[in-house]
Amino acid sequence: MADVLYLDDLQVGDTFTTASHALDVDQVTAFASQFDPQPFHLDDAQARQSIFGGLAASGWHTAAITMRLLVTSGPRLAGGIVGAAGQVAWKVPTRPTDILHVESDVVEITPSRSRPDRGMVVLRSRTLNQHDAVVQEMTATLMVPRRPS
């Protein structure tokens, strides 16, 4: 098992690829029932009449699965994956038959001026389905500790 990564261990351009997560109808409707109870996330017949043209996962479900994949099989950042902010864009619907994985790259590293024990890392993550279509793009600003001296 690799050691955890401190800010000092990261470089712009570093890439990470996670394991995969297979969705199904039960997961899609369970998440939607709890957090996004709209017909196109709950019922295939109604979803077919909607802008999605069929059952689609909540975008927040896609975001949550992306987080799970990053936490469980993405970059092993010291201190964990702690986000201060993020931009999320949903490009095509996530479907109940999708098998998702995440590909990330480091786009910016900024040591903190006021807090010498840490810095901010901008990590760009694309969530792809089994057809390599990008269902979500996310750019997150993460807090990463510096290696203790």
Q: Does 54 bind a second copy (CB under 8 A)?
A: no
> Contacts for 128-135 with beta carbons within 8 Å, 24 or more apart?
128/100, 128/101, 128/102, 128/103, 129/94, 129/95, 129/98, 129/99, 129/100, 130/98, 130/99, 133/91, 133/92, 134/91, 134/92, 135/62, 135/90, 135/91, 135/92, 135/93, 135/94, 135/98, 135/100
Q: Does 35 bind a second copy (CB under 8 A)?
A: yes
In angstroms, give the least distance from the CB of 90 to a second copy: 6
Q: Does 29 bind a second copy (CB under 8 A)?
A: no
User: Using CB under 8 A, which of 12, 89, 99, 107 touches a second copy?
Assistant: 89
Q: Does 49 bind a second copy (CB under 8 A)?
A: no
Nearest one of 96, 88, 94 to 26, comparing CA atoms: 96
Q: Does 36 bind a second copy (CB under 8 A)?
A: yes
Q: Does 65 bind a second copy (CB under 8 A)?
A: yes
Our CB check for a second copy shows the closer of 18 and 40 to be 40
User: Using CB under 8 A, which of 54, 60, 96, 122 touches a second copy?
Assistant: 60
Binding site for a second copy (CB under 8 A): 31, 34-40, 50-51, 58-60, 63-65, 67-68, 71-72, 79-90, 143
